[in-house]
Amino acid sequence: MSDKLEKSIFEVLVAVFPSLNGQIDYNWGPNDIKEWDSLNHLNLAMSLNEKFSIELEFEDVLSIETIGDIFLMLRKKGIN
């Protein structure tokens, strides 16, 4: 994984979840990030679609349970 990809993902995360303040753990999920509710889960998916010019399928969106899952899902989409 490139530093550029990590930086891009972190930019999306901080935009959707402002409470992160740049502190990000790959194991964090909805139970760890106070703003991560169902609406912001959709906002996260839409932001990832826009940032990486991809179209996430319903299954892709459901597969994101932690920040680390975002990286796995993007790799499956061919984004490194």
Least Cα distance to 26 among 64, 65, 68, 75 occurs for 68
Evaluate whether 66 touches 29 at the Cβ level (below 8 Å): yes
Evaluate whether 48 touches 12 at the Cβ level (below 8 Å): yes
Helix/strand/coil for 46: helix
What are the tens digits of pLDDT across the range 22-77? 788 999 999 999 999 999 999 999 999 999 999 999 999 999 999 999 999 999 99
Which amino acid belongs to residue 15? A
- The pLDDT value given to residue 80: 84
| Report field, pTM of the whole predicted structure over 0.85 | yes
- Locate 65 and state its tokens: 């349970």
